[in-house]
Amino acid sequence: METTGCGTALITPFRGDGSVDDRALYALVNWQIDSGIDFLVACGSTGEAATLEDDEFLSVVQIVVEAAAGRVPVWAGCTHNSTRALVKRAERLARVRGIDAVLSANPYYNRPSQEGQYQHFMALARAINPLPVVLYNVPGRTAVNLEPETVLRLAADAANIQGIKEASGKLPQIGSLVHSAPQGFKIFCGDDNLALAAIGNGAHGLASVASNEAPGEITRMVRAALRNDWVTARSIERKYARLFEANFWDSNPGPVKTILSMMGRCDATVRLPLVKPDRATKQRLERVAGEVGLLRDAPLPEGDMRMF
């Protein structure tokens, strides 16, 4: 896998009635790429994949791939707590031309052992081989941790398991992977507020939530860190540290969509069981967005949608 740098864990825009807003998604992808993002992740947890129906999920991935048009790599999220269901969904996903990797999180709710997770991810890797798989360790959402030893075992046993998005919040775990992973295996931080520390430990980039709102600046931060320009990287991190925190004042992606709606990029609608942030939180989000300069952008003109 050649991908490095900053990738956006894209939101999935919805209209007020809860349907997928294709036009807003297409425009969002173009804006992200025009801003310099290194890669895009469709249908991850920030994309509310857990509430997308199968046909919607495939449609969202297809829109992102078509809008990206080969300009940046596209990863497609594919997660399920049933291995059998995961394999079926992944086999459909693998038929979408233009996907560069499949991102798959730990099985949620079941709380499988390390052996269970190993067999789960091996089944996925075999089903879509040679399409690359990026593991996604996010114990805060799934209630299980994917231990470094299991990651290394998976990387050794499946040639197409080529990276991991590490969102455990455990820097020693990232360090262990950096020191032990085989050559070519890529490690991406999954937490904006830990990105510089992770890259300092040897991570290859960031899969970001905040780059939904500030793609150019967050990408510049990550690239600066990767080339050891820590003065620039830390300056940008200081500017956006409050935004990194604010994006999780309510369940993700509620705060991100609220700020993007203030920027004129999409509606703030999220799908149940998520709800929009309350009025007080929205006011706090507006203050933070204003302080970091996000609200200076004019709403996207209708003519820039570049739809199909």
52, 60 Cβ separation under 8 angstroms: yes
User: Both tokens of residue 60?
Assistant: 């969202």
Task: Please spell the DSSP secondary structure of 216-266, one letter per residue.
Answer: HHHHHHHHHHHTT-HHHHHHHHHHHHHHHHHTTSSSTTHHHHHHHHHTTSS
* 257 labelled catalytic: no
d(CA 6, CA 207): 6
Residue whose tokens read 């949620």: 108
- Measured from the Cβ of residue 109, the count of other Cβ atoms closer than 10 Å reads 9
Selected catalytic residue, list 108, 165, 257, 282: 165
Sequence letter at residue 215: P
Helix, strand, coil: what percent of the chain each, to 5?
50, 15, 40
How many CA atoms within 13 Å lie on the side-chain side of 263? Answer: 24
60, 43 Cβ separation under 8 angstroms: yes
Selected catalytic residue, list 26, 136, 186, 240: 136
* 118 labelled catalytic: no
Distances 49 to 146, 188, 219, 261 between C-alpha atoms, Å: 20, 20, 24, 20
Catalytic positions are: 136, 165
